[in-house]
Amino acid sequence: QVQLVESGGGLVQAGGSLRLSCAASGRTRNTYPMGWFRQAPGKERELVAAISWGGGSTYYAEYVKGRFTCSRDNAKNTVYLQMNSLKPEDTAVYYCATGPAGGSRWYLASYDYWGRGTQVTVSS
């Protein structure tokens, strides 16, 4: 079992920044990738970014490249998502998730463990 807890969400004006944190506990797997997802009202969850704990690789959705940065601190079992130049379109509940990797694209892993999410609201 793995428990994930997101924090760092809040209300910010367009162009501002937030840093989200995801703290993992329980039976963690440092070789599992950690993904950041978001879900806006009425929309499906989408993968925003991911980081490979074992390999040090990162993935970013095209619409956040150059604005978001995913990093890790394995000693703290924590993953971060630094979000800069935020846009109203970024408003969503942000989730972190982890699970076994697989397939040709490592960041499209089966994410079995999810946090409860943290709200990010970007005002215009």
Across 28-42, 63-77, 99-113, the highest mean pLDDT is recorded for 63-77
User: Given a cut of 70, is residue 29 above it in pLDDT?
Assistant: no
- For residues 90 and 108, the model is more confident at 90
Query: Per-residue DSSP letters for 106-123?
Result: TTS----EE---EEEEEE
pLDDT score at 77: 87
- Tokens 């969503």 locate to 92
Element (DSSP H or E) covering residue 68: strand 68-73
Structure tokens at 40: 């806006």
As given in the structure block, the two tokens for residue 65 are: 């490249």
Gap between the Cα atoms of 13 and 74, Å rounded: 31
pLDDT reported for residue 55: 59
In contact, 61 and 49? CB cutoff 8 Å: yes
